[in-house]
Each structure stands twice: as structure tokens, then as C-alpha cells.
A and B are shown apart, each in its own frame.
Chain A
Amino acid sequence: MDNKKIKAGITVFPGSNCDADVYRVLNSVFGVNASFIWHKDEIKDLKKYDFIVIPGGFSYGDYLRSGALAARSPVMESVKDYAAKGGITLGICNGFQILLEAGLLDGVMLANRSLKFECKDVYLKTLNTETPFTCAVEKGAVLKMPIAHHDGNYFATESLISGLDGKKSIIFKYCDEKGGITAGSNPNGSIRNIAGISNSAGNVMGLMPHPERSSEKILGSEDGGWIFKSIIKYIKEK
């Protein structure tokens, strides 16, 4: 199967600002056929897409709470339907916040422990390589990607966390260069160093770091590319 035959939909809300980056990386770096889905478009059925990306940004200015307004926009109804039917859905940064607000993932995002916006490279330990988002990643691999957020301090109750744990839904944790999950390597205070989780079915993932900003050597890391390579691999093998 040619990558060009794989169709990706990228949702665009007013205030989305990583949409163009995801679009460029999917089309130019990975040769996928990616296109935008405008938030007001009444596409009832997203099934023509092989996967959906909810990109980062400040949807609706992140007024009220990060992602809260976007989670209630018309296109999210279609996304919920798509996800319920098993459609592969990836939320990056603000997209992760939107997935939480929409109830597609468990937990909430708090402001970073520093109460500041944090932009820097972080390391991620891959805990589950049997998901559509990580199936091409080497087991236990440490990936380098940048974060850029103000509200990335993931929080969930102990019972939710053990639920996530039990279903292997904690996909990525912040770690040090060598893979050690330490307090010092946690950039935002996230509980248990959590950087990315999936739903229990495994077809929806939210990730705070930006894989689209780390998919080319010239940008200092190609590690984020493994997320997209995994999705492509999964779709091809399905």
C-alpha cells in the first residue's frame, strides 16, 4: 500500500496553530494524503479518513479552560462518533487537552507546576509498543521530542491511574536521557510523569510533546517520526 493512499484528517479550530506543521510533516515527510477539517464543517461521517489528528494550538483562545470550548464544537461530535467506531485519533498538546475535555480520554490537565509556559526538549519512555501509535517503536525506546505548553500537568485520581495502568493505557512517561523515570525529568509536574495516554480500546491517544516538530534530522530529532511511522504501519497491516 502506498502512503499516498492513506488519508489523514487534521481538525482546525479557530486558534489551532500546529495544524500547518502537522499537515506539512504528514504530506511532505511521510507522504500521507493529509487534509484539513474545518471545525464548522458538518462532516457527519469521518470514515473516509484512516486517522484523525487534533493538532496543538490555542483553540478558541483556550478561554474558559484549555480545550474546553473546542471539545464542544460540532466537529468533535463527529470525532467522538469516529473514535467510538474504532477510528485512530491522535491529539497533540492542545489536541490532548481537547480529548480530555471531550471525555474521550480520562483525567484532566492542570497548569504546569512552574505556572509558566515551558518550551524545551524532553525524553519519553515508551511503555506500550502494542498500540497503533507505537507499533513501530522499539520496546522501551527513549524518544526525544519538544514540549511547548502551559497546561501539561496531567492529573487523575489513583483509581483512574490504576485503571489506565491495568489496561496498559499509559503509553509515554517523561524520563531522563537514559530512560530513568525521575522527578528531575518531569517538566510540568504531571502525575507519575505521564506524557501520553490512550483510551481503553487503544485507538485514541493524547500526547503532550510534539512529534511533528521532531520528525526531521535538521530539527535536532527524528524520534517523533516514530509515532507517524507507527500509525502508517498499523493502517497498512490492518
Chain B
Amino acid sequence: MDKTKKQAEKLFGLSVEEYEKISELLGREPDSFELGIFSAMWSEHCSYKSSKVYLKTLPTEGGKVMIGPGENAGVVDFGEGDVLVFKMESHNHPSFIEPFQGSATGVGGIMRDIFTMGARPVANLNSLRFGSFSHPRTPYYLSEVVKGIGFYGNCMGVPTVGGEVVFDECYNDNILVNAFTIGIAKKDGIFLSSKCEVGNIVVYVGSATGMDGIHGATMASEEFDLKKNKKRSTVQVGDPFTEKLLLEACLEAMEKKLIVSIQDMGAAGLTSSSFEMADKSGKGMLIDLDAIPLRTAGMTPVEMMLSESQERMLIACEKEKFPELKAVFDKWGLNCVKAGEVIKEKVIKFYYKSKIYKTLDVDVIVNGPEYKRPLKKPQYLNKIKPVKINNYKIPENLNALAVKIITHPNIASKRTVFTQYDYSIGTATVVPPGFSAAVLRINGAGGGRNKSKKGDKGFLLNAGGNSRYTYLDPFTGGALAVTECARNITACGGYPAAITDCLNFASPEDPEIMWQFAYAVEGIKSAAVKLNTPVISGNVSFYNETAKKDGDKTYVSKIYPTPVIGMLGFIDDAGSAVTPYFKDEGDEIYLLGSIKGGLGGSLYMELAYGDFRQKPADLDLDYEVRLQNCLRSLINKGFLKSAADISEGGIFTALAESAITNPEKTLGFDVNCDIKAHKLRIDEFLFSEFEQAFIITTVQKPDGRRKSETAAILKKYGIKSEKIGSVEKGAMKINGIINLKSGKIKEGYYSAI
């Protein structure tokens, strides 16, 4: 028995306690088939056993939310009979083992989640984290991941409209690939996995099942040991062409009302799709393993059940409609086979070689363990103190530092990345990647509908998070991920509506990591409640850590806690969205909001003094809501020509980007701010990050009416606005200290990566 237990732990990733629990539930020891099923369904990846307790605390309802977490993706009402369906998911472990296929199938998987719901995918985003820019493996990961994302998304014809690319040495041994997809559907055209009826046929559609991705879910629920290359076969291989056919076939079958219930085969393939569909529908199933189309002859039942071959779906359909369903899939040249039946008894009976092979109780399998793992405040946090600025001498050449910051890989333009993605397909992308948030109009791919009186109704998308800040202060980092996405959406004139989260952490079995997780989720929750942006879907990725060897010494390389938020916002007229860049010489530049000057965690501290491990400034969430509402009111009045938030790289970076990202021309600015009035040192003013403020520009010499209306709006929300300068030609000047040539900065900004 001990031998089997050990095997279970080694091969299947189950703990000894879990193995004993399974034996107790079955009344005997599990056989290898059962072990395979349990290991997948009870894996961290599928069961959320360590995170569930915390995820339950997140706000999931309210606003325009129609369906929250639990289904393949969340659904938000978009009015006039349309809904938007979105979710973000991680594909970290596979992408680290095989970056091209890992990222490609990550994109393929999240798109399947969306069209499983009956929605046509209309945009993708992604959040990518690589090791330090100078790490020898980083160019390889960067180029392969980007190629993989483009390979899949471009072929599917879904525009990739934004996201983020971040480099940090904490990802040297664990890169992160988080993929987001949003789709559009009719309100009455949403399909769920919970609608199976007794007597429905269970239909398998799409690609044949092969030997790829077996134990993928288990692999993604473990840290990497020293032999990660042996896990290559756990990575799936993607075929976007087949998925494009599957998309068209599924949507056509849905349109023709041939589908009762549907679930995609993602992590743990046939296992999770069959058990989850049965469980959510409160039914059971007969599954005929002899009917499963195979790529490799002689696959064993457990291999068929655990294969994560891509581009497959499980469908429940009314018996008499099967021929019609088959005709649709035939038209698109895809497999469509009867693989079983929905039954009343809540068990899954597997047939193999024409005999009953196994019968498994659905409740036993799906009701996996739930842990409230021990928490411990990480020791390192005791050393994280607010910056004592007087201990640091201002560097002599602030201009040189400013150049270093604006050309730093984390700040500089990611143009070389996003031009490898088709971002203009769909004729819906109004503001392309590279600015605040992506702005899309709805009537592009949808077919000319929803023209509101004002113009083309639109939506905005943004994804991001800051792991350094989360490392230094998990609560603030979690909250900041939400507010930062919202700032980007608000800066365009949009209304933040709902979010999806992708929570990337190291091992939950480490109490200090679990502590980071608990506080980061608390931060997300607080901000999501204040901003009224419910969390409608998401994913948790633990075990982003790798055992390393340095001479005789072994140690574990862990990522910083990395919560990433994907946010949806709405806008009445997509064409009126405000962009962050300056428009014309002579326009007045204002600072809207308050500046505190917290340098803790900033890029400046790292580059100037070699240490960013200081406490970031606190975030005032009530103020944040007022500030964003104030900005949106000003934009909606048509008073602003540009608006940019202040994020990484501080006010200097916000100003510089505003000057050089105008696609038509290169501009500059002349800024003079009374920093003494703000009680700030010049470097605090220039480089403090995530200030609760925006850089805005207005027309030259606003008239009296505009002035009084602006004053009224500022008063209403209790927000200060201060004129700090004006837009100029070709030079960047701040307080007589910063003096740089825009053209040169622009060149560096666009060529750094």
C-alpha cells in the first residue's frame, strides 16, 4: 500500500491524506483509472481547493452582471439584447516548458471557453511576464510566446487588442502567460453546461483524442523540479485552423438550436467536461469510450480521459436532432460522434470494449477537498518600510535617469510585440493597442447593429497588475490592479463595468505565500466593491516556483505574487473616446487629483539607488472613486483633449508618453509645478508611481462657460486641478531641471524592445 501511495503522490500529484480520503470514499483503494480521474479533478488547477475559501468573498453580482463565476465565463448585459462574455485564464506552466505551443493553446483554450457559451469571440488581450530583460533565456521566451499568441489568434480571426508585457527577474524561472477573451452573444443565445436532460445524447465533436497534454492539469498544480524538460509531453499542441472550424460549427449548431448543453474540453479534457456537465445538470452519463475518435490506436481508458488534446467539445443534444447536428459538423469537416447518453442516476458509467468498465459517483469526484491552508505574514514584510527620502541624495543627472526610465523595457513601447498580432480584424478596433485601454465598437463583427443616437456604441478593455507592489504590500497591490485598469478605462471616457482575475502565485502550501494570496484577494475585493466592478470569472494559478541548483546549493525560485485583472468598460460613443497623447501645441496641461510622492516600489528607486523594496504609498479608494467620476464627467462634457493616468515611471513618464505617442506628430511640453506647495522633492514629483492623479489637456483659453462648468464638476467631486504647463514643440522641460529632446526620447522609446 505504501508503494501505491507513493506512486499516487509522484505520478498523480495527490497527497497521502487525499489518497486516504479517496480510499475512504470508495470503501477501498482506487485503481489506476480512478486515480487518474481523481488526480485531475482534485488537482489545484481544476478544484481550486486552496483558493475557494477566499474567492467566495469576492463580489460577483450587481451592476450589469448576468452570470457570475461558475460557468465557462461570466456574462454582462450590454443592452439592446446583446451580452458580452469574458474570462481570463493562465497558461503559465505549459508556456514555460514549451513557450510557442503553451501560449498558443492558452489562447485557444480561453477562446473555447467563450464560444462554448454561445458567444463569438471579438477580442483578445494578454498579460505576459518574462524574466529580467537581460536574462539569456528571455529573448527566446518573448519571441516564442508572442509568436504562439499570434499564430493562434490571428488564424482564428480574433483581434488581439492589448495587454501588458513585463520583465522582472522574479520570472526568470517561471514565466506567466495570462490570456483574456471577450465575446458577444444575444441575450437569449447563451449556452450553459448545466442544462443536460435525461435522454439527451452525449456527443463528442472536434479533433480526435491524442496522447498530448496527459496529466496537464496535474502538472500545472505542481512546482517545477530539476527535471522540467521531462514534462514536455504534458503540453498540448494547438491547431487554430481546426478551432476556427469548431467555432463556426458550434455557433451554427447553436443558431439552429441543435444544442441543449455544451462544455469545452480544457484542463483534464474528457474527465472534467463529462463530470462537470453531469454535476451542474444534476444528472449522470453513460460514456462509451469505444466511440471516442483517437489519434493514437490503443490508448488506454485513463489516457483517453486525461488527454488534453485541443479543439474538442462535449455536447448534449436531443436524440432526434442528432442527424442535423452531425450535418453541421460534417459541413465543417469535423468529427461528431455519439459518445453516450444523459441518465438520471448521478453516476458516470464508462463502457469500454462493449462492457461496463467503471462506474463512478459524480458527487464523490467533483466534491474535492477544500482547504483553509495556514497563513503566516511573510518575514520579509517586516523589513519593508516607507521611504525616508532624506537618506537618499538626489542624483546629479536627473535627465540621464529620466532617459533610462522612459527607455526601460517595462516602460518603453511594446510596438514590436503587438504588431505581430492582428489587431484590426473585425473592423471594430477604434483605439488600437499601445494607449490606455483598447476601445472597440460593437457593430464591427456583429453586423452593423446597435448604432446609438450618439454614434457607435462601444466597450473598452484593459488588463494588468503590478507584482512588485503586490510583493511589497499584497493588499495595496491587489487593489491597485483593479484601480489601475479602471483608470485606463476612465481616462478614455469609459465606465468600468466588470472584471475577471487571474491570480498567479507560488505554492499555496507555503503559509507565507497563502498570506500574500489572502491579502491580495482582499485588496481586489475592496477595490472591486468601491468601483462597483464585480468579478465575473477568473482563474488561479499556484505553484509558480522552480527548484534551482547553484553549485551544491538547492533553492526555490518563486514569482512575486501576481494578481492580474482584466476589465471591461462601456462607452456610449466609441468614436468619442479620449486618447492619452497630446494633440496640439499650446494646449494647457493640468494635473487632476492629488500627488503624494510615495517612491516605494518605484522603478526610480531601483535605477537610482538599486533598491525598490520600500513601502508603496497607500491607496485611498474613496478618493479614487471620486477622482475617476470627476475625470469621466469632464471627458463626457467634451472638455478634454487628452487624459493619461500616472503609472510606472511616474509623472515624467506620463508626460513624456503623452508627448511622443501621438501617431501624427512629435510634441513636447513645458511644465512648471510648485513642488514646494506639494511638499515634494523634485525626484518624488517626477518619478513617484501610481499617483491618484491624471495628466489632462484642455483647449487653449477655455471660455467662461467652460471654466465655470469645470469648476462646478471639480467642486462636486472634491477634486483639485492645477495647471502645470502647456504642450510645446519638440522639447520636454520640467521645472528647469528636466530638459530633453522629444525626438530622441521617441526614438529610444520605440526601439528599446
Give the B-binding residues of A (Cβ under 8 A): 14-15, 17-18, 20-21, 24-25, 27-28, 57-58, 60-63, 116-120, 146, 148, 150, 210, 212-213, 215-220
Contact = CB atoms under 8 A, between A and B. Distances in A.
Given A58-B244, A212-B427, A219-B429, A24 B154 contact: no
Contacts of B575: 217-218
A30 B332 CA distance: 30
Contacts of A27: 448
B427 A17 contact: no
Contact of A116 (B333, B420, B455): B420
The list of the 5 closest CB pairs from A to B, nearest first, reads A17-B157, A61-B241, A28-B448, A148-B422, A58-B155
B421 interface: yes
B427 A216 contact: yes
B154 A58 contact: yes
A27 B422 CA distance: 23
B157 A219 contact: no
A119 B420 contact: yes
Contacts of A212: 427
Contacts of A21: 425-427, 444-445
A117 B421 contact: yes
A118 B424 contact: no
B155 A219 contact: no
A151 to B, nearest CB: 12
Contacts of A217: 575
B423 interface: yes
B434 to A, nearest CB: 11
Contacts of A220: 430
B425 A63 contact: no
A210 B424 contact: yes
Given A15-B155, A63-B241, A218 B441 contact: yes
Contacts of B422: 117, 119, 148
Contact of B427 (A14, A116, A119, A219): A219
A213 B427 contact: yes
Q: Which of B239, B444, B456 has the most CB of A within 10 A?
A: B444
Contact of B456 (A57, A58, A117, A218): A218
Nearest to B332: A14
Contacts of A15: 155, 241, 244-245
B156 interface: yes
B574 A218 contact: yes
Contact of A213 (B147, B156, B425): B425
Nearest to A63: B241
B4 interface: no
Interface in B419-461: 419-427, 429-430, 441, 444-445, 447-448, 455-456
Contacts of A14: 241, 244-245, 332-333
A21 B424 CA distance: 11
A235 to B, nearest CB: 22
Which of B239, B419, B422, B423 counts the most A-chain CB atoms under 10 A from its CB? B422
A63 B157 CA distance: 16
20 contacts: A15-B241, A17-B156, A21-B426, A21-B427, A21-B444, A27-B448, A58-B154, A58-B155, A58-B157, A58-B244, A60-B241, A61-B240, A62-B241, A63-B241, A117-B150, A117-B421, A119-B423, A148-B423, A213-B425, A217-B575
A18 B421 contact: no
A216 B447 CA distance: 14
Contacts of B155: 15, 17, 58, 61-62
Given A21-B426, A219-B429, A120 B448 contact: no
A17 B430 CA distance: 19
Most buried by B among A17, A118, A217: A17
A148 B441 CA distance: 20
Given A118-B419, A120-B419, A219 B430 contact: yes
Nearest to B151: A117
A118 B455 CA distance: 30
A18 B424 CA distance: 11
A218 B424 contact: no
A218 B154 CA distance: 22
A28 to B, nearest CB: 4
B424 A148 contact: yes
Nearest to A57: B157
Contacts of A117: 150, 154, 420-422
Given A21-B426, A21-B444, 11 more contacts: A14-B241, A17-B425, A18-B157, A18-B425, A25-B427, A58-B154, A61-B241, A62-B241, A119-B419, A119-B420, A213-B427
Nearest to B576: A218
Q: Determine which residue in B157, B240, B441 has the highest number of CB atoms from chain A within 10 A of its CB, and name it.
A: B157
Contacts of A120: 419
B145 to A, nearest CB: 13
Given A17-B244, A119-B419, A219-B430, A24 B444 contact: yes
Nearest to A19: B157
Nearest to B458: A218
B430 A218 contact: yes
B574 A146 contact: no
Contacts of A18: 157, 425
Contact of B424 (A17, A146, A150): A146
Contacts of B423: 119, 148
Interface in B347-381: none
Contacts of A119: 418-424
A28 B427 CA distance: 12
Contacts of B332: 14
Interface in B271-317: none
A118 B425 CA distance: 13
Contacts of B427: 21, 24-25, 212-213, 215-216, 219
Interface string B404-419: 0000000000000011
B246 to A, nearest CB: 11
A155 B373 CA distance: 63
Nearest to A218: B575
A82 B448 CA distance: 30
